[in-house]
Chains A and B, each alone.
Chain A
């Protein structure tokens, strides 16, 4: 569990006196995350953003629900769990049957790939494990969206 992160372990120099001697657009300053807890999603470690008032409620087992925010890296790039899960099925398996059996909504299937949506109250980490252990499924990935694309 980590209660506060802000530019950890990075040697940086802040030049607050730098004036606008260039044409770069001004972006928002890096945000300080007041409270977070470590969570492993898709094999990578993130910090799950929690409300400061909720820090006393940290559970022993971290959960991840649709809408939860996680951050990574020293500049706290934020991603949101959307509730979607990408799955690669074993050849010949039926995406609809998996959805029915696990109470998921099948969003789309293409070949042996499928995308499922979990209900809002489903712990996505637990769902990930459940899918991973299902013999009909080869691989699983929880979607973390971060609006990464920009007009260019």
Chain B
């Protein structure tokens, strides 16, 4: 921290700024994600100073996303909000078919998207409310989540007249399936969506490309799937699913899509939030906080007025801001926004600022800069070990979530945090010094193995299958497609080991893929798509090994389907001692 402030002070002296000139947003002092001084952000406890996006130098330089368009694809955006309106540019769209609002006003019936927009680009230095990470960026709002039509998806994701020059698409949304989902590249719908995202990522904005930023999910403890919540069987007994995530972010195939830059969420102490989904496919982590009552959440824009949004007159006393308090008598701001929904826009805002530092950088360059400058947060986190009784009756231990690991290219990775916490000042500084970060991209053909391999019940030995990869490329990301028969998918851990020996857990065990209990036709994974960023910088050539480990020999494994307190279903999955079978798997590398 001393170094940080020293650099800041030097920078400010250099450009003639004083601290007073960048502190004119009344609620800025509580926005710990921009400058964590250990404030409580209207909650009952404080964070730890220094755990923030590291924005001070960037803000002192006045780098705030000028000329960069960011699309907020969400429940909507209140684009006439006093702390957003000046940054909103033409092109927003209202997709709600029976809306009373005009077609260019993306009505936000929920408030979620308005909070997201504020984190990205609330107007800075205007004597009003809060400040966005990129407080002078150009915002567009799309309420696609409120009415999820295909046409709306196209328009909001880069194929509309107003979105062709958008450089950042913020997607603070997701879905968490209980069934494995076949990611068939011959499926016309899947092929279409990937094709559009690939095209926009590479070619939007006159060839500089755009980034799709996506939330990892809020499913560590439980998740919503369709009309109910999926809870671990021990939930009401005070259990925590043995410390493992119910929703590994790789369970959602769109999170295993390379074109989505997936973000996990960290607290004001720099640790994983209680809810954040995690996985090998996480690129970076960003501040989001907890719930704003006991500990800090986000301070951002809210639907105007005390009768809408998260901050209403009914909320007086829930924290120091809500309920029409002196600080915010009109209830235009909230201090309870959280979720990976907040981590994504904080990342999007940082990206917009980096892009505005150097408009010549491609989207892929900026993505790389974000990874290469991320900071190792929660450095002592031990990961999660799972103890289980194997098929010989012995108690054994499996490292289901590894601690921070340095790969063979010297890159640090933790599946809670990806490459680490976003460090805007560091990325901005790199962006100022280069016009090209990476060589041209290579996406290799799929390499496959269809050798059947048994996966024994409850055994660390697991089933193991290898592919010799001949392409001489440097890895950015690796995708795997896996077909594996198994009677109880949550028992399985899936891991991939690189030619250099780096191990990445693609799917953690004891997860919420419990659909087999409700649909007997599900025999296991069928072309399940999984992605890892953990091999970044390593050479791809050589032998890759996929391992499937069954971690549970117990007769019954139960999950809870929770609709409401009157409709709670305990659903069992019975064990089958027959070995599972890896039927086939494929691997491809996205790199250079």
Contact = CB atoms under 8 A, between A and B. Distances in A.
Contacts, number: 143
A87 interface: yes
A88 B228 contact: no
Given A13-B569, A149-B145, A152-B341, A111 B228 contact: no
B145 A18 contact: no
B188 A26 contact: no
A115 B195 contact: no
Chain A, interface size category, equals 35 or more
A21 B236 contact: yes
B175 interface: yes
Contact of B189 (A28, A143, A148): A143
A149 B175 contact: yes
B143 to A, nearest CB: 11
Interface stretch (B126-134, B147-155, B403-411): B147-155
Interface in A1-31: 7, 9-16, 18-22, 24, 26-30
**B interface SS class:** mixed
B565 A20 contact: yes
Interface residues of B, number: 56
B487 to A, nearest CB: 16
A150 B174 contact: yes
B219 to A, nearest CB: 8
A108 interface: yes
Nearest to B571: A12
B188 A139 contact: yes
A9 B521 CA distance: 13
B173 A149 contact: yes
A140 B192 CA distance: 11
Contacts of B187: 139, 141
A110 interface: yes
B398 to A, nearest CB: 28
A132 to B, nearest CB: 11
A88 B174 CA distance: 26
Nearest to B192: A113
A149 to B, nearest CB: 5
A110 B192 contact: yes
Contacts of A77: 226-227
B110 interface: yes
Contact of A11 (B154, B188, B572): B572
Contacts of A115: 150, 192
Given A27-B564, A149-B175, A108 B159 contact: yes
B227 A27 contact: yes
B570 A13 contact: yes
Interface in B540-592: 561-572
Given A26-B565, A27-B563, A88 B186 contact: yes
A84 B193 CA distance: 14
Interface string A99-112: 00000000110110
Interface of B: 74-75, 110, 112-113, 145, 148-151, 154, 159, 172-175, 186-189, 191-192, 195-196, 199, 215, 217-218, 222, 224, 226-229, 235-236, 339-341, 515, 517-520, 561-572
29 contacts: A10-B517, A14-B569, A15-B570, A16-B567, A18-B568, A19-B565, A20-B565, A26-B565, A27-B562, A29-B564, A74-B518, A75-B226, A75-B227, A77-B227, A82-B149, A87-B188, A110-B195, A110-B196, A111-B199, A113-B188, A139-B187, A143-B150, A145-B149, A145-B150, A147-B148, A150-B175, A151-B75, A151-B110, A152-B341
